[in-house]
Structure 1
């Protein structure tokens, strides 16, 4: 299983990321389903007005992202044997309200496999990739929100 999965793109990005670009990258003649997720910067959190965010990544975050994607695609398969295509990116740096922070697209012959893999990718990235969100509120306060785990020096997360 997983031998027929193509990771088209899996990176952190300082540049804006696009759902349309992700869809275009994974579409194919054999894909009957293209499932996307876009995590967008919202203007509120915990009852406070958010003005903007900044994401910071651990130096090994890209390697952890690669490990997460690799582990999930190892169990992925299209029931018809056609390629499953994956595109995922998480922004780092400053973001404004309305900008995508995490985009994931999965193409497969059938929707169930595409939904399952896209959902699993998003959940695992949020839980395991060491990226921290700095929220700037309209009242002048700042809050850090942690995500993922800090990798050990050998590159493995703990």
Structure 2
């Protein structure tokens, strides 16, 4: 198994991850790549800055990976998150999951991204073209649903509607 930091201050790459060839039992790979987009709530975004409490962030991401691996019975789950200044189109996060079947790969990858965004001490500050900036609350990529428990959490979901979602679906 390749060893690498889960919180990195240089450009992120898929080369960090173990190759699928090391997991012949797996028939599905799900990859999420989140990038910096050029707008937020009709304001032009110039750049983002991510900061973290890295020692805790590292431990938490590794724990999340292990919990998700066990929950979905997947062979491999890894997440790397960038810190520092990022320009538009730069990659902020990569999550990957290898599983025997696509459903488990999709679920594991989505939950990994969501949990890292919600639970790990990594903070995002947006810098706008007009010279202003603001910190953004932890974001959620989960789609709102009409399930009963979603209604109980509706207030929480509304708090996150203002978030910048720096997503590129690969």
Relative to the length of structure 2, the TM-score reads 0.72
Any stretches of 5+ residues in structure 2 without a counterpart?
A: 140-170
Which string of whole-angstrom CA distances, capped at 9 and with x for unpartnered residues, describes residues 8-27 of structure 1? 75611111112x425x6241
2:18 to 21, 25, 34: 25
Shift of 1:67: 2.3
Q: Which residue of 2 aligns with 1:137?
A: 128
Question: Any gaps of 5 or more consecutive residues in structure 1?
Answer: 1-5, 79-83, 149-158
Return the structure number with greater strand share: 1
Partner deviation per Cα, 1:81-108 (whole Å, 9 max, x = no partner) = xxx1222100011111111101011111
Partner of 2:44: 49
| 1:66 is aligned to 2:62 | yes
Aligned-pair CA distance for 1:76? 2.5
Q: CA deviation at 1:147?
A: 2.7
How far, CA to CA, are the matches of 1:88 and 1:97 in structure 2?
A: 21
CA gap 1:71/1:31 in 2 versus in 1, 3 angstroms: closer
My pick for the range that moved more, 60-69 or 32-41, is 60-69
The 3 A distance-change label for structure 1 pair 26 and 119 is: farther
1:88 equivalenced with 2:79 (yes/no): yes
Matched, 1:104 2:95: yes
Equivalent in the alignment of 2:118: 127
* Cα separation, 2, equivalents of 1:92 and 1:46: 23
CA RMSD of aligned residues (A): 2.1
How far apart are residue 70 of structure 1 and its match? 2.4
| CA distances 1:65-85 after superposition (whole Å, capped 9, x unpaired) | 22222222222215xxxxx12
Counting matched residue pairs gives 136
Please, what TM-score do these two structures have when normalized by structure 1? 0.77
Structure with the larger helix share: 2
| Offset from partner CA, 1:21-76 (integer Å, 9 cap, x none) | 25x62412332111100111000011100011110002422222222222222222
